[in-house]
Structure 1
């Protein structure tokens, strides 16, 4: 019918009393791809597949809990009045920074117990994590969240976007900037840059693939976060922008210190257990 805009149903299918959401399917697909790629890369450096699977087994639930907790904490003014929605992760509302913090803690503990280099493990999985993040943003797209400020139909058309994206960016009769798409493209581009540098001899030292991930992701996230309308403010900037600044400059400083303090640190292409 003319005038009706087709939207994507956030529910993919129903199994009895259970509703399976596209949000969860998309995130799960991104994680699965990250694991497959991490196992392949880990094999090149003597990392056992079981170590990657252990990280997934323990890291995934902790990351999800931390990602949701981070989001709920900074949206407590709402959730304090809607406690029954705190656990409804399938409706959206997870913070990637919270998830990364939780996963990093699990990784450090596992590497310590297995007497493995956490730097090398981080180097192996970091590019795949940012790829999964780029894929996961499409879950936000389906849920019509993590969007930018109101814009016009002509602006979206000038970006030469597919019609299904333009349609989904109309919420309650208003068009919004597709910041989910900006970050998805930035993340996937970061994946390509990181794996290219990782394969280059004498480009990155052990640990610098991960630190490069922090630099790349936080740089893009700082600017994209400034376009969004659903972020918590802390002074003149959003909370995620402050954290992006800390990670960006912190990673740069760590690279400089490590190169000066330990010039014999092996290149990533030479690193092994």
Structure 2
């Protein structure tokens, strides 16, 4: 079967292969930073706050994403530890990056006397649109796909040819789980922007909790289709278990803070 498969290498620069994966990830980061910076200035933060934050958050989130992946797939790296540093082959776990990023937010906001929860609210829509874009890096790497399916099924989804043809992997057509998650994240981005724009709807922290619940709910089901999941033990997928914990935790925190803490509304300018 002759199909138009995408080359994961975009071009070569001084003999170094520049992959589509890297270009797509960087593009998502640039858009995310721009959106977060725009929102932070609207709420009265300094023009350089997001940039200063990203100087710490970006490298540490990459480290967190890699460590998460390596820890739960250790048997691959135990006999070849140098491969831990081979990021060009992929192997970055979103949840690991999110955990590391949240820790950086806490440290950053404590040092600048900003609201931890409000800063997370500013970041949440930017993060999820970055995830929506970043999943296309998995597409060009021919990874993060689902079980076998038929060409007829993929055509029935009215997908463009370049997606259908690149879902022919290891001798069979596959579910485009990268696309399912990308579209789910894109829908979440639109919903978060709408929720965040309502003046007296969400309290501080609730944009972030809404993001966590939306993403973890979709990820739970999409992860169940993937063929490259990380497993905790037996048939327990790490990301599915963590999705359940995060969804329940975010919902519980939202209810608790509304009843007990009673924080101010998110859109109040100058409340840090």
- The alignment's TM-score, normalised by the length of structure 2, stands at 0.96
Q: Within 2, Cα distance between the matches of 1:236 and 1:14?
A: 41
> How many residues of Structure 1 are paired with residues of Structure 2 in the alignment?
270
- SS of alignment partner, residue 12 of structure 2: strand
Q: Does 1:162 align with 2:149?
A: no
- Checking the alignment, whether the CA contact within 8 Å between 1:149 and 1:176 is kept in structure 2 is yes
- The alignment's TM-score, normalised by the length of structure 1, stands at 0.96
Aligned to 2:260: 261
State which of 6, 15, 18 in structure 2 corresponds to 1:17. Answer: 15
State which of 219, 222, 225 in structure 2 corresponds to 1:224. Answer: 222
- Checking the alignment, whether the CA contact within 8 Å between 1:120 and 1:271 is kept in structure 2 is no
State which of 72, 76, 79 in structure 2 corresponds to 1:78. Answer: 76
- Checking the alignment, whether the CA contact within 8 Å between 2:44 and 2:269 is kept in structure 1 is no
Post-superposition offset of 1:228: 0.4
The Cα offsets for residues 32-83 of structure 1, whole Å up to 9 and x where unpaired, read as 0000011110011111122101111111000001101111111111122332
Aligned to 2:38: 40
Aligned to 1:29: 27
- Checking the alignment, whether the CA contact within 8 Å between 2:217 and 2:243 is kept in structure 1 is yes
Aligned to 1:132: 130
- Checking the alignment, whether the CA contact within 8 Å between 1:169 and 1:177 is kept in structure 2 is yes
Aligned to 2:251: 252
- SS of alignment partner, residue 179 of structure 2: helix
Root mean square deviation of aligned Cα: 1.1
Aligned to 2:106: 108
Distance 1:203 1:39, change over 3 A: same
Q: Within 2, Cα distance between the matches of 1:122 and 1:271?
A: 15
- Checking the alignment, whether the CA contact within 8 Å between 1:206 and 1:271 is kept in structure 2 is no
